[in-house]
Amino acid sequence: MHDEYEVDLSDSAADTDDRAIDAVFVDWAGTITRPMIELFRNAIAGAALDQPTTDAVITGLAQYLTGDDSPLHQAERGEITDDELWDWLDAQTPTGDAQAEELFAGDQPWAFLNAPDRPEMAELLADLMEADVFVAITTNNFAAAQDRLSARYLGGFLASAVVNSALIGIRKPDPAFFELVLETFELDPGRVLVLDDNEANLRCARQLGMQAIAVGDDATDAVRQTRRLIGLSDA
Do 131 and 16 fall into the same domain? yes
* Count of domains observed in the chain: 2
Do 76 and 191 fall into the same domain? no
Do 42 and 28 fall into the same domain? no
C-alpha 178/C-alpha 205 separation (Å) is: 7
Residue 150 per-residue DSSP state: I
C-alpha 215/C-alpha 90 separation (Å) is: 32
**Which of 70, 91, 113 delimits the end of a domain?**
113
Enclosing domain of residue 93: 37-113
Do 165 and 191 fall into the same domain? yes
Is residue 71 situated within a structural domain? yes
Do 93 and 11 fall into the same domain? no
Is residue 235 situated within a structural domain? no
Q: How confident is the model at residue 12 (pLDDT cuts 50, 70, 90)?
A: very low
C-alpha 223/C-alpha 218 separation (Å) is: 10
What would the pLDDT profile of 142-199 be if each residue is shown by its tens digit?
Answer: 998 999 999 999 999 999 999 999 999 999 999 999 999 999 999 999 999 999 999 9
Sign for the CA dihedral angle at 179, 200, 226, 164 comes to: positive
C-alpha 71/C-alpha 91 separation (Å) is: 12
Top mean pLDDT of 34-43, 65-74, 169-178 is at 169-178
Cα-only R_g, the chain: 18
CATH number at residue 172: 3.40.50.1000
Do 122 and 223 fall into the same domain? yes
Do 100 and 215 fall into the same domain? no
Dump the DSSP string for 7-54: ---TTSGGG--SSS-SEEEE-IIIIIBS-HHHHHHHHHHHHT--HHHH
Higher pLDDT, 37 or 147: 147
- Residues 32-69 as b/e (b if ≥16 CB within 10 A, e otherwise) read bbbebeebbeebbeebebeeebbebbeebbebbeeeee
Lowest mean pLDDT among 94-98, 133-137, 169-173, 210-214: 94-98
Strand partners, 147: none
Do 84 and 12 fall into the same domain? no
Q: What are phi and psi of 209, to 5 degrees?
A: 95, 5
Do 126 and 225 fall into the same domain? yes
Do 179 and 149 fall into the same domain? yes
Do 136 and 198 fall into the same domain? yes
Q: Average the pLDDT over 35-51 and give the result.
A: 67
C-alpha 192/C-alpha 205 separation (Å) is: 9
Do 62 and 41 fall into the same domain? yes
The pTM is what? Answer: 0.83
